[in-house]
């Protein structure tokens, strides 16, 4: 009887959790790019510099926030990501894409400009005056395990964020519903200090709560990959 009751209760919890939706407030697209052979970051910087006023005008008019993610600890960078945050404005986003195409970005790099408008929510936002043009970022691409969803994940998310509040570490977290895949999401950590890994290892990673929360995360979802970047705000 106890087993049967427990099972029904669990099923009811799963059904109820499916009704819990994230309070999405913006959209974000991540465009993967590869530098052409014999091209370098200098050529990429030159491309954006000579056209920056045009792109600024589009970004201001269409309310776009544009950043470039470069792989961390890579002396021979050949790939990068153009990140564009928009307010459910695919037409404004397309205007920017058309502009960079018209300016022949293809002479410098090839980019996959498939628009997905991933719905985003800032799970934690750090209001900080950061003079460093580069921000440490980590992008995790994950898929929910069977019967799990944002509703079941939310308790673990809140516990994780509340746990890290005890650590003197400025950081932000963005959660994107991955519209390119079913039951998937993109998790982006932003860290505003260079020693963030040391701080996490010293103050959180080896604690009992840390192991429990990581287990809860693994129960809810499986992350396919995790990559670290230096994020540069272009506009």
Q: Are residues 74 and 127 in the same domain?
A: no
Report CA dihedral (96, 102, 104, 106) to the nearest 10 degrees.
70
Q: Provide the domain count of the chain.
A: 2
Average pLDDT, the chain: 89
Q: Mark whether 124 and 194 lie in a shared domain.
A: yes
Is the pLDDT confidence value at 4 over 60? no
Distance CA 109, CA 99 (A): 15
134-167 residue pLDDT tens: 999 999 999 999 999 999 999 999 999 998 888 8
The pLDDT assigned to 6 comes to: 33
CATH (domain of 157):
3.30.70.100
| Residue 193 zone, left/alpha/beta (φ > 0; ψ -120 to 50; rest) | beta
Domain contains 5:
no
Phi, psi angle pair for 220, to nearest 5° = -80, -40
The verdict on 43 and 17 lying in the same domain is no
Domain shared by 210 and 127, yes or no:
yes
Q: Report the CATH number that the domain containing residue 59 is assigned in CATH.
A: 3.30.70.360
pLDDT of residue 31: 99
Among the candidates 118, 133, 164, a domain finishes at 118
Q: Using one digit for the tens of pLDDT, what is the confidence trace for 27-66?
A: 999 999 999 999 999 999 999 999 999 999 999 999 999 9
What is residue 69's predicted lDDT score, i.e. its pLDDT?
98
Instruction: Give the domain extent around 79.
Output: 26-118
């Amino acid at each position: 009887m106890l087993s049967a009751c427990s099972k029904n209760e669990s099923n009811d919890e799963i059904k109820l959790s499916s009704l819990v939706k994230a309070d999405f407030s913006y959209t974000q697209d991540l465009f993967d790019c590869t530098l052409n052979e014999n091209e370098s970051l200098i050529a990429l910087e030159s491309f954006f510099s000579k056209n920056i006023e045009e792109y600024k005008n589009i970004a201001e008019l269409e309310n776009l926030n544009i950043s470039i993610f470069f792989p961390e600890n890579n002396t021979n960078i050949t790939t990068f990501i153009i990140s564009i945050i928009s307010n459910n404005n695919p037409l404004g986003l397309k205007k920017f894409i058309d502009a960079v195409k018209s300016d022949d970005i293809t002479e410098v790099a090839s980019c996959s400009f498939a628009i997905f408008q991933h719905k985003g929510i800032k799970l934690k936002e750090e209001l900080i005056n950061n003079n460093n043009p580069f921000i440490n970022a980590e992008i995790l691409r994950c898929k929910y395990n069977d019967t799990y969803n944002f509703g079941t994940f939310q308790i673990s998310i809140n516990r994780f964020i509340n746990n890290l509040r005890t650590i003197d570490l400025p950081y932000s977290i963005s959660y994107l519903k991955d519209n390119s895949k079913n039951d998937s999401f993109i998790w982006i950590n932003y860290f505003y200090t260079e020693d963030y890994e040391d701080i996490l290892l010293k103050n959180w990673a080896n604690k009992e709560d840390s192991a429990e929360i990581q287990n809860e995360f693994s129960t809810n979802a499986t992350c396919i990959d995790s990559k670290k970047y230096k994020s540069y705000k272009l506009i």
